[in-house]
Amino acid sequence: MKIALIIENSQAAKSSIVHESLTTVVEPLGHQVHHYGMYTPEDKASLTYVMNGLLAGILLNSGAADFVVTGCGTGMGSMLAANAMPGVLCGLIIDPTDAFLFGQINDGNAISMPYSKGFGWAAELNLQDVYTKLFTGERGLGYPKERAAIMKTNRGILNSLKSASCRDMLTVLKTVDQDLLKATIAGEKFAEYFYPNCKDEAIAAYLRELTA
C-alpha cells in the first residue's frame, strides 16, 4: 500500500515526529510512505488544511496513493476538506480505538488527526498505537462481528451517495481556483512521488499542463 502523508502549515514543526511514527509502524508491514510535505515551518510551499483536502483528493482519485494520513490543529478542518472531495472517506482519529473502529466499520481511505489539541508528552506513542490499529490486519470486518453484513451494506450505500453528490476529480481540478490548485501541488517532492505513481493519465496531463 502507498500511504501519503500530508502536514499543514500550523503543524509543520511536528512533521518529523509524525513521519517517523508512521514509517516505524507501516514500513515493516510492507507499506510505502510518501511524505508530500510540509517538512518544516520554513518550507516555501505552504499547505493549509483546505489544501490538505484537495491534495488528498488528487492523490486518492488518481491512484497515486492508496491511503492518506493528514491532520491539523484539531484534525477537524483537514477531515472536512478531505470529505469535500469525491472518492475520499476521511475519519477524525484521536486514539487507537477510533482507528480500530474506523478501519473495521467505515473502512475509509483517509484519516485526519489533531496535532495540536491533546498533543502532549508521549504523543508519538499514541501516533504509533493509532497506526498499528489502523494498518495491522484486515480492515472492514465489522464491529461487533454480528453487524458486519449491515455495516458492509451501509458502506456501499455511502459510497454510492458520495458518487451521486460529487463531481469527478478532473472536473473538480478544472473548476477549482487555479491558484489554489497550483499552490497545493507546489511541494518540492510532489512531482517525484505523484507522476510515477499516478494511474490516471487525464489528471496527470492536466496537472502537468497547469504547472508547465
pLDDT, one tens digit per residue, over 30-63 is: 999 999 999 999 999 999 999 999 999 999 999 9
Is the distance from CB of 71 to CB of 113 less than 8 angstroms? yes
pLDDT for 27 equals: 98
Spatial distance between the Cα atoms of 144 and 158, rounded to a whole number of angstroms: 19
Secondary structure (3-state) at 112: strand
Q: pLDDT at position 131, please?
A: 98
Alpha-carbon gap, residue 184 to 58, rounded angstroms: 10
Return the pLDDT at 19: 98
Return the amino acid letter for 96: P
Per-residue pLDDT tens digits of the chain, which is 212 residues long: 999 999 999 999 999 999 999 999 999 999 999 999 999 999 999 999 999 999 999 999 999 999 999 999 999 999 999 999 999 999 999 999 999 999 999 999 999 999 999 999 999 999 999 999 999 999 999 999 899 999 999 999 999 999 999 999 999 999 999 999 999 999 999 999 999 999 999 999 999 999 99
**Predicted local confidence at residue 71, as pLDDT:** 98
Domain residue ranges of the chain, discontinuous segments joined by +: 2-211
Quick one: how many helices (H) and strands (E) in the chain? 10, 5
In one-letter notation, the amino acid at residue 165 is S
C-alpha closest to that of 31 among 128, 135, 103? 135
Among the listed residues 178, 93, 102, the one whose alpha carbon sits nearest the alpha carbon of residue 140? 102
* Threshold 0.85, pTM exceeds: yes
Query: What is the structure's pLDDT at 101?
Result: 97
Please determine, looking at this structure, whether the domain spanning 2-211 carries the CATH number 3.40.1400.10. Answer: yes
Q: 48, 174 in Cβ contact below 8 A?
A: no
Angle between the N-to-C axes of helices 190-197 and 201-211, in degrees from 0 to 180, rounded to the nearest 10: 150
Q: How far apart (Å, rounded) are the C-alpha atoms in residues 67 and 78?
A: 14
